[in-house]
Every structure is written in C-alpha cells, then in structure tokens.
Amino acid sequence: RKLDPNKPMVALTFDDGPNPTSTNKILDVLEQYGAVATFFDLANLMEQYPSVVQREEEIGCEVGTHTYSHVDLTKLSIEGLQEEMDKSSKVFNRVLGHDQVLVRAPYGSVNNQVRKYLGYPMIGWDIDTLDWKYRNKDKILNEVRKIKDYDGRIILMHSIYNTTAEAVEVLVPELINKGYQLVTVSELAKYNGYDYLNHGTVYYSFR
C-alpha cells in the first residue's frame, strides 16, 4: 500500500469482535479493495478466535484493544482497571506476539481516573453508524452518508453483525470512488501530523 499524503483519508473502526463469520466477511471486502481498518477487539474473544485476529493483521489492518471483557472502565478501581488491561495485554502478546498500542473504552466511557491510569492512548470516534441499533444495511449507510466530508474522521462500526458486513460491502468501494484512502487509525494520525499519541488522551478524529 502506498498512501498519498495529499489525498483525503478516513479510518473505519470496528468494535466488539472478532467474530468468525461477520468479521471475516468484512476482511474479505477490505482485502478485495486493498483497504484497511482498525479493529478494537475484545481480548476474551481473541482467545477464542485467534486466527481471525491474525488475519486482520496479515492483510494490513491494525488491532487495538476494546479491553478484555467489555467492562465499563469508569466503574473499576485503579487496581481493577490495571488488571483488565494486563489481562488484555497478555492475550495480545500470546495471539499477535506484541503488546496492545491503542485502546477504545467500552461505551466510550472515560473519566479522569481512566485517563490517568489506563496507560495507553484512547481512540473515540466522530461518526457513529449506529449499526448496533439498526442492524439494517441501508440505515447504517444512511448514517454515514449524512456526513459530507470524511477527511480525518473516525467511523465507528461493530464487526459482530452480518448487517454491518453487508454495509461494508457497499461503503468501502463508495468511499474509494469518492477519492478517500481507507487507512488505520495510526496512519490517519501520522499523516495528519500526530507523530505521537499521548497516553490518557482520547482522540475523536484527526482533522
């Protein structure tokens, strides 16, 4: 993949996976179009479906953590927060051979304690497809199409629904045809001048 820093970029992100059916369908589409995304996977599911996560990285996608067990981090003690991240880190090292780099907090729920003690940069989003709510391809696409300029934006989806995979089949070529490069969150940050992402900061876009 060669990226043109002068052309617009957008990051598709997928939470709550991996799922052996719907996630693989999404990966099929990304692979078909030479596109990539960032998957914020649950470490307890990474243990169950390691081959799906490994495939994500093999085709050039980025894998971040959505914690070990999808717990609301703001409801944990400092010790509980660190234990949750440690469990996730161990799975990353076992399944992918490296530590986690980026975190997306479940529900996007973050407070001052999480910012101080999490120990990783956090990634939010600024386009919510509401795919978890609609479970309908056309409604998901309508949410995305409400936005006219995607450059530097982070789109939230979930890799556990077949309806999301169906939407991705339409959305990926549509974005490419509009001139967008589909990149990972880290690439989006880098090419928009963010050489370093701060621990404890939540990034909602890179515009």
Active site residues: 15, 158
- Give residue for tokens 């199409």: 145
Q: What is the DSSP letter of 99?
A: -
Residues linked to residue 12 through DSSP beta bridges, in sequence order = 155
Determine the Cα angle at 15 with ends 142 and 84, to 5°: 155
Q: Read out DSSP for 105-157? A: -GGG---HHHHHHS-S-EE--SEE--HHHH--HHHHHHHHHT-S--TTBEEEE
55-82: buried (b, 16+ CB within 10 Å) or exposed (e) per residue?
bbeeebbbbbbbbbeebebeebeeeebe
